[in-house]
Amino acid sequence: MRSFIAFVALFATPLAAQDMSFTPQATETCLLKSGHGRDKSACIGLSAGQCMATADGQTTMGMGFCLDAELGYWDEMLNSGYQQLRAAMQASDTDLPTHLAIQADGVRDMQRAWIAFRDARCSFEASQWQGGTGASPAFLGCMMTMTAEQALYLMGVLSGEG
């Protein structure tokens, strides 16, 4: 699976990436408008979609660039949310007896299992293209969507919405 991920990483960025641009503005605007306690899943893929609507974004390599760029946006949010939530759970566990101080480890274990599931699911999605040019966008689209969903979940738990 790692070799496939390395292949996708190489294929995801077009040779002319300097000619393409990505901005997460559509996603960020949607997240702000969705407000507290509302479903933010409709915001996933908006910026990648705008990027892919450009002439360069309609090629397989362009799609890879756009999807990978939004994946990076969500991955940063996921990592920030995970670090914040883990720290909050560690603080919450501090004064508890050892057998009850399980939240921080629970978050860590959940995240590790989720990463394995995400990677396997997205590799499966790509495999359905049987090595065709759609494999890379399928893989990156899956990674972007699943990473975004997990980031929103972690941020929701952190804010008391999840």
Domain locations along the chain? 2-159
Q: Are 65 and 19 in contact (CB under 8 A)?
A: no
Global confidence as pTM = 0.84
pLDDT at 159: 87
154 Cβ contact list (under 8 Å, min separation 6): 78, 81, 82, 85, 162
Identity of the residue numbered 147? T
Residue among 138, 134, 157, 136 nearest 146 (CA): 138
Measured on CA atoms in the order 27, 41, 114, 63, is the torsion positive or negative? Answer: negative
* C-alpha to C-alpha distance for 153 and 48, rounded to whole angstroms: 20
pLDDT at 35: 78
pLDDT at 140: 97
For the chain, 162 residues long, give each residue's pLDDT as a single digit of tens: 444 454 444 444 444 445 688 999 999 999 999 877 678 999 999 999 999 999 889 899 999 999 999 999 999 999 999 999 999 999 888 887 777 778 889 999 999 999 999 999 999 999 999 989 999 999 999 999 999 999 999 999 998 876
CATH architecture of 2-159: Up-down Bundle (1.20)
